[in-house]
C-alpha cells in the first residue's frame, strides 16, 4: 500500500514537473532531474554490485531522458515512461557487461517504493532491532554482517574464538528474524 | 563529471518540446522515405500505363486498401513502440486484420475459379519479381523510419524494428501497386504479403542492432 501511495504521489508531482519542463521551464526541469537522480540511484544501487556503475548509469539515464524527452506522451503516466527507460538502461548495462542474467519483472513501483530516504529509514529500523540484542551479539553482527569483517578478524577484535563468533552471529540473526516475523506487517 | 553538474548542463540546453513532436518526427521520416521510394518506382519501374482505366476496377482498390490499411495499423503500432512504457499489443494484434481480409478474398476467388485458372491466379505474370521489388521500394522508407526511431526511445528494439519493417513493406507495396498490373486477390494475398513479411523480418534483425540507444 505504501509503495502504491508513494507512486501516485510521485506520479502527480513528477508529471507536473515534466510538463513544465517540456514547455521550456528550466527550473522545473532541474528539480525534476535531481528528484529522478535520487530515485534512479536507489534503483540501480540495489541491482548493481559496483557503486560507480550505478552512478554512471544514473548519468547515462539522465542524458537519455534529456535527449529522448520528445518520446514522452503527456496522455500516459510519467512513472511508466521513466521506469521503462531505467529498466532499458539496466538491461543494456547487463548486456554490455556481458553478464547473462535474468531480470525479475518489476513494476514501476520499484522505482518509487524505495528512494534514498527510505533506505535511511531502513537503516534506522535495523539499528533499533539490533539494540534489542545483548551487547556481545550485537557487536558480532555489526562486525561480520554490516562492516564485512571476516570471522578471524572479528575473533581477534573481540577476544572470542572463531567458532564462538560463528555461533554468536548465527544465534543473533535467528533472534533478529524472530523479532521481525513476530511483528505485525 | 558530478551528477549535479550534469543536471545543470542539461538544464542549460533545455528547449521546449511542442506537443505531438514524436508523431511529427515519425511522419517526417515516413514521408521523406515514401517520397524517395515513389521517385525510385517512377524512374525504375514506371507507373502502369493503364492507370486511369484501372482506377475504375475492384482489384486496384483492393490492393490500395490492403496495403494502406496495413500501413496505417503498422504506423499506429510503431508510434506506440517508440515510447517507453506504452503497450502496443492490441495494435500489433490488429495488424492481422488486413492480411486476414485479403486471405478470405483469395480463398473465395480460388474456390470460385475453374482449376485450369489456379496457376494463373497464383503466379500471375510477375511473381518472380514482385516480392523483391516490394522489398527494394521499402528500403528508402525503412531508412527514413530508422532515422525517426533513433530520435525516439524504443525499449524493445527488435519489435520496433519489425513494426518499422512492416510499415515500410506495406507502404512500399502501396507504392509498387502504382506500377503493378496484377489483379488476382490470390496473387496479392501471397506475393504482396510475402514481400511485406520479408521486410518486417529484415526490420526485426536491423532493429536489434540499429535501434539501440
pLDDT in tens, A108-140: 777 776 566 666 666 777 777 777 788 888 888
With beta carbons under 8 A apart, name residues in chain B contacting A37: 3, 7
Q: Say how many domains are in chain B.
A: 1
DSSP A104: P
Q: Do B6 and A62 touch (CB under 8 A)?
A: yes
Find the angle CA(B117)-CA(B121)-CA(B123) to the nearest 5 degrees: 115
Give the Cβ contact number of residue B22 at 10 Å.
Answer: 22
Residues spanned by the domain of B30: 21-210
CA-closest candidate to residue A55, choices B110, B171, B6, B150: B6
Mean per-residue pLDDT over chain A, rounded: 83
Q: Do A73 and B83 touch (CB under 8 A)?
A: yes
Among A158-172, B96-110, B127-141, B151-165, the least confident range: A158-172
Residue B4 is assigned to a structural domain of this protein: no
Residue B159 is assigned to a structural domain of this protein: yes
- To the nearest whole angstrom, how far is the Cα of B83 from the nearest Cα of chain A? 5
- Percent of all residues in chain B with a pLDDT value above 90, rounded to a whole number: 98
What's this model's pTM, rounded to 2 decimal places? 0.77
Mean per-residue pLDDT over chain B, rounded: 96
Q: Answer whether CATH 1.10.3720.10 is correct for domain A132-182.
A: no
Q: Does B179 have pLDDT greater than 90?
A: yes
Residue B10 is assigned to a structural domain of this protein: no
3-state class (DSSP) for residue A45: helix
Considering CB atoms only, which of A22, A58, A80 is closest to B85? A80
pLDDT of residue B111: 96
Residue B73 is assigned to a structural domain of this protein: yes
Question: In this structure, what is the dihedral angle of CA atoms A171, A174, A179, A181, given to the nearest 10 degrees?
Answer: -170
- To the nearest whole angstrom, how far is the Cα of B98 from the nearest Cα of chain A? 28
Domain locations along chain A: 2-115, 132-182
> What is the distance between the alpha carbons of residues B23 and B86, in angstroms, rounded to a whole number?
14
Residue B3 is assigned to a structural domain of this protein: no
CATH code for the structural domain at A2-115: 1.10.1740
- Domains A2-115 and A132-182 alike in fold: no
- To the nearest whole angstrom, how far is the Cα of B2 from the nearest Cα of chain A? 9
Burial track B123-161 (b if 16+ CB lie within 10 A, e otherwise): bbeeeeebbebbbbbbbbbbbbbbbbbbbbbbbbbbbbb
A-B interface: how many C-beta pairs under 8 angstroms?
88
A83 touches chain B (CB under 8 A): yes
Residue B174 is assigned to a structural domain of this protein: yes
Region B191-202 average pLDDT: 98
The grid cell for B211 is 535501434
- Percent of all residues in chain A with a pLDDT value above 70, rounded to a whole number: 84
Burial (Cβ within 10 Å: 0-12, 13-18, ≥19) of residue A56: middle
pLDDT of residue A184: 47
Instruction: Using CA coordinates, name the residue in chain A closest to B82.
Output: A71
B95-118 residue pLDDT tens? 999 999 999 999 999 999 999 999
> What is the distance between the alpha carbons of residues A24 and A20, in angstroms, rounded to a whole number?
7
> What is the distance between the alpha carbons of residues B73 and B101, in angstroms, rounded to a whole number?
14
Region B42-47 average pLDDT: 96
Among A86-90, A134-138, B52-56, B85-89, the least confident range: A134-138
Amino acid at each position: 500500500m505504501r509503495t502504491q501511495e508513494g507512486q501516485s504521489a510521485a506520479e502527480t508531482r513528477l508529471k507536473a514537473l515534466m510538463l513544465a519542463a517540456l514547455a521550456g521551464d528550466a527550473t522545473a526541469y532541474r528539480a525534476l532531474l535531481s528528484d529522478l537522480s535520487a530515485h534512479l540511484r536507489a534503483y540501480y544501487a540495489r541491482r548493481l554490485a559496483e557503486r560507480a556503475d550505478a552512478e554512471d548509469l544514473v548519468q547515462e539515464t539522465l542524458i537519455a531522458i534529456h535527449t529522448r524527452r520528445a518520446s514522452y506522451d503527456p496522455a500516459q503516466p510519467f512513472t511508466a515512461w521513466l521506469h521503462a527507460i531505467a529498466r532499458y538502461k539496466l538491461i543494456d548495462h547487463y548486456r554490455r557487461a556481458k553478464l547473462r542474467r535474468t531480470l525479475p519483472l518489476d513494476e514501476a513501483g520499484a522505482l518509487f517504493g524505495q528512494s534514498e530516504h527510505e533506505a535511511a529509514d531502513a537503516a534506522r529500523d535495523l539499528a533499533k532491532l539490533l539494540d534489542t540484542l545483548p551487547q556481545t551479539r550485537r557487536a558480532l553482527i555489526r562486525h561480520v554482517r554490516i562492516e564485512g569483517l571476516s570471522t578471524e578478524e572479528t575473533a581477534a577484535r573481540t577476544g572470542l574464538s572463531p567458532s564462538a563468533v560463528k555461533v554468536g552471529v548465527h544465534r543473533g540473526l535467528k533472534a533478529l528474524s524472530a523479532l521481525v516475523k513476530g511483528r505485525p506487517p | 563529471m558530478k551528477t549535479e553538474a550534469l543536471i545543470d548542463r542539461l538544464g542549460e540546453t533545455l528547449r521546449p518540446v511542442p506537443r505531438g513532436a514524436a508523431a511529427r518526427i515519425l511522419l517526417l521520416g515516413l514521408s521523406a522515405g515514401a517520397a524517395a521510394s515513389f521517385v525510385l518506382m517512377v524512374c525504375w519501374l514506371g507507373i502502369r500505363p493503364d492507370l486511369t482505366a484501372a482506377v475504375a476496377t475492384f482489384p486496384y482498390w483492393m490492393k490500395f486498401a490492403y496495403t494502406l490499411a496495413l500501413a496505417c495499423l503498422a504506423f499506429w503500432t510503431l508510434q506506440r513502440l517508440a515510447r517507453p512504457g506504452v503497450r502496443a499489443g492490441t495494435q500489433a494484434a490488429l495488424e492481422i486484420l488486413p492480411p486476414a481480409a485479403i486471405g478470405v478474398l483469395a480463398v473465395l476467388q480460388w474456390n470460385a475459379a475453374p482449376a485450369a485458372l489456379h496457376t494463373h491466379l497464383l503466379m500471375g505474370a510477375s511473381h518472380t519479381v514482385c516480392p523483391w521489388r516490394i522489398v527494394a521500394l521499402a528500403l528508402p522508407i525503412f531508412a527514413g523510419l530508422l532515422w525517426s526511431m533513433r530520435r525516439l526511445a524504443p525499449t524493445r528494439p527488435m519489435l520496433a524494428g519489425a513494426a518499422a519493417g512492416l510499415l515500410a513493406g506495406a507502404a512500399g507495396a502501396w507504392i509498387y501497386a502504382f506500377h503493378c498490373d496484377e489483379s488476382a486477390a490470390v496473387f496479392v494475398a501471397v506475393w504482396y504479403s510475402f514481400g511485406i513479411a520479408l521486410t518486417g523480418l529484415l526490420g526485426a534483425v536491423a532493429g536489434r542492432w540499429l535501434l539501440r540507444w
